Amino acid sequence: MSPTDAPVESAAVALRDVSMAFGGKTVLASVSLDIAPGSVVALLGANGAGKSTLIKILSGVHTEHGGQVSVNGVPAALHSPLAARQLGIQTVHQRIGEGIVPGLSVAENLVFEELAQARGNPFRGGRRLLARAREIQSALDLGWSDAVLRRDVTELGISDRQLLILARALATRPRLLVLDEPTSALSAAEAERLFALVERMRSEGIAVLYVSHRLGEIDALADRLVVLRDGRLTEDQVKPFDWDSALRAMLAQAQETTTARPRRTGEQGEVVLSLRGVPLLAGHPPQDLDLRTGEVTGVVGLLGAGKTELARGLFGAEPFTGGAVELDGKPYEPRRPADAIRGGIHLVPEDRHTDALVPGWSVAQNISLPFLRSLSTVGLVSRSKEDALGRATIEQLGVVARDEHSPVEELSGGNQQKVVVGRWLAENPRVLILDEPFRGVDIGARRDIGRRARALAAEGAAVLVLSADVDEVLEIADRVVVLAAGEIRLDAYGEDAERDRVIQTISASV
């Protein structure tokens, strides 16, 4: 089914023949799309399909594009993010760090747009600023105390920062709200709150463009689904959605939402990494865990379960406060990441933008960063070796980039994630830890990353995958561990790790 051309006058926001190219490469090609008031339109597409470019055009970031954008039937000049917001287009971007202002308080960030647009300071007194911040946060029923509102915004966790940005966007009563991977950093309870809010916006006539790779969310929330592939709209559906057709349109081949995972029936490999009596969360019982060769262990749990603490502790970023860890039968006490890297333990961190990528550096430079010593002679990095490493990663993981010299920020989110994963695969780790490796990446990228992780395990490494998404873990793991409140509640293989049992274990822990 091809995209329709409804009258512009019926749309809150309409795009007609919108096109854009970078360096001679077409990124969007004659995209026409209408978003009606009170509708939820889901935008689906593989990484590199053009979704981010489309969002940035609507947000007023990319202005040199072809075609026309209209708001309420009137051609609009979206020449800046401020102009887009003044016309009623609010965007909650996937990159949470782009939406907050470090150094300002939580309250100041909540009222930041009003502060920036007003002449002088409309909140001369701290009480007035706090009062307005309370009003804004009430849209999401955040319930933050005045003490929290006075803190520096950087003290908030990732999920709370995303909720802050969403609350600020809703304070303006937008015509169109663009949500780009809005649940990527939210717990299940916070996501449910967001879903209820989307339903309320629909009832109040606010148009929503919902961008997500989580098909269950789209199926539950959206009235309509459109698919971008290679910069073109290739599918336009209304409920009930034909997922086989949608995924075929997105990936150019039939795909299931998940694939059967090769399953082991029990412990087989040698123990590589052993934890005994290690507390993952302060005030909670210590835990024991073994990671084995040739095995992908999936740890699933909600936010705050202790997954990231486990990953960062093993990597030496936040050393464990007690217990004993052994690597290949010898004591292992990393005080910093360099210790872990020397031991062959590599981490793909939860937040690639903050903890993994260096903007302005090329793909090859980002990949080689932790291993410059092995690429150097008498202290000078061999650019030919570095470039060869970049090219190898691009080929092995299917990174979509011009070449290894492409600035990493030019890549789509999924391809950036492949660069981070490729970096830590470059020197054959003994243990590979992947913390939320599929956040914000499409099905194709997820499977590319999953295949490389499984191949590494087949070569004798131990792989640890941590995720809040049950299906992501079930798709890749031989063994499933459920973590809740810093405690292991399930550790199972094969049929004992079926989806229903995993979900029941998580639910019983809430």
Average pLDDT over residues 455-471: 89
Distance between first and last Cα of the chain: 42
Q: Is residue 396 part of a domain?
A: no
Q: What angle do CA 30, 31, 32 make, to 5 degrees?
A: 115
Query: Which residues, other chains included, contact 135 with Cβ-Cβ below 8 Å and sequence gap of 6+?
Result: 171
CA-based max dimension of the chain: 70
- Indicate whether 194 and 58 sit together in one domain: yes
Q: Which of 362, 339, 477 is nearest to 411 (CA)?
A: 362
Task: For residues 347 and 332, state if they share a domain.
Answer: yes
Rg (CA), the chain: 23
Rounded to whole angstroms, the Cα distance separating 469 from 257 reads 13
Would you say the C-alpha torsion 195, 201, 202, 206 has a positive or negative sign? negative
Residues 345 and 221 in one domain: no
- Which is it for the CA torsion 3, 411, 260, 498, positive or negative? negative
Residue 6 has pLDDT above 50, yes or no: no
- Is the pTM of the predicted complex or chain greater than 0.75? no
Of 276 and 259, more confident = 276
Q: Confidence class of residue 49 from pLDDT cuts 50, 70 and 90?
A: confident
Q: What is the pLDDT of residues 387-430, one digit of tens each?
A: 888 898 888 888 888 889 988 888 887 788 888 888 887 778 89
Question: Which stretches within 3-104 are classed as H helix?
Answer: 51-58, 81-86
Query: Do 114 and 225 fall into the same domain?
Result: no
Cα-based distances in Å from 4 to 29, 46, 193, 199, 221: 16, 21, 32, 24, 21
Length of the chain: 510
For helices 383-397 and 413-425, what crossing angle results, to 10°?
Answer: 120
Is residue 366 included in any domain, yes or no?
no
- Asked whether residue 145 is assigned to any structural domain, the reply reads yes
Q: Are 438 and 456 in a shared domain?
A: yes
Residue 118 sits in which domain range?
103-171
Q: How many domains does the chain have?
A: 3
Q: Cis peptide before 319, with omega less than 30 degrees from 0? A: no
| Residue 381's pLDDT band (cuts 50, 70, 90) | confident
For the domain that residue 15 is a member of, what is the CATH number? Answer: 3.40.50.300
Position 391 in a domain: no
Same domain, 350 and 304: yes
Looking at the structure, tell me whether residues 288 and 432 fall in a common domain: yes
What pLDDT does residue 257 have?
46
> Which of 232, 265, 233, 229 has the alpha carbon at shortest distance from 250?
229
Among 134, 151, 171, residue at a domain's last position? 171
